[in-house]
Structure 1
């Protein structure tokens, strides 16, 4: 399993070729937002292109768009997160995931445009 990161501070974990990839916000993003109070998750079955807004997260400080890190179709949303948005703060890389997306074979190359963890950590320090 490999986690990739976007410049918009989302992470995506792609386990195996035929499994859905899991998407969430990074630790850096949740720290910048502060206490998350609401999440607007995408509709299951909706397809998004890489970079499109797929949801919104609202905190006591601000609201921020959630961008699709790679093109794909949403196959599951985290209902636990909808019920308890604070999971995005307490466990952003685990139980606080946002949605799962099926990535078509033709779109797998989009992962190459994302960062690995060392590159993302350097990026996040400056942004």
Structure 2
């Protein structure tokens, strides 16, 4: 499993890419593989606020339903409609076309780098 070096990660298996004051959020390939075939995604609407550590949506797979936790606080400025229409994008391309949402934030918390995330997933 490839872990992109330029992203930051959470212990909840989400990735973040920050450009200016906007962070793109998705779930990692490890999470997507663990979930199995993703069949449904529920995301917040543009303009909604998300709070770090709080549930912002869910993904449903053929195995289970999992809640998504916001890795940071802010306002949702864009959602990836492609993943709500074609949820399997998260399985096939979690780090590119399978992104979930973009959040405008002024507070990016300390997150794991690729090496620390790799160590976490090897322990689990």
Q: Same fold (TM over 0.5)?
A: yes
CA–CA distance in structure 2, aligned partners of residues 12 and 67 of structure 1:
12
Instruction: For residue 66 of structure 1, report the CA deviation from its aligned partner.
Output: 0.8
Say whether 1:68 aligns with 2:105: no
Aligned pair count reads: 120
Match of residue 41 from structure 2: 39
Instruction: For residue 2 of structure 1, report the CA deviation from its aligned partner.
Output: 4.0
Say whether 1:94 aligns with 2:91: no
Tell me, what secondary structure is at the counterpart of 1:121?
helix
Match of residue 115 from structure 2: 118
Kindly report structure 1 stretches of 4+ aligned residues shifted beyond 3 Å.
Answer: none
Tell me, what secondary structure is at the counterpart of 1:30?
helix
Instruction: For residue 60 of structure 1, report the CA deviation from its aligned partner.
Output: 0.2
Contact 1:2 1:14 in 2 (8 A): no
CA–CA distance in structure 2, aligned partners of residues 84 and 64 of structure 1:
17
Contact 1:51 1:70 in 2 (8 A): yes
CA–CA distance in structure 2, aligned partners of residues 54 and 125 of structure 1:
27
Tell me, what secondary structure is at the counterpart of 2:7?
strand
More helix by share: 1
Match of residue 50 from structure 1: 52
CA–CA distance in structure 2, aligned partners of residues 126 and 47 of structure 1:
33
Task: State TM-score, norm by structure 1.
Answer: 0.90
Question: Mind listing any 5+ residue stretches in structure 2 that lack a counterpart?
Answer: none
Q: CA RMSD in A?
A: 1.3
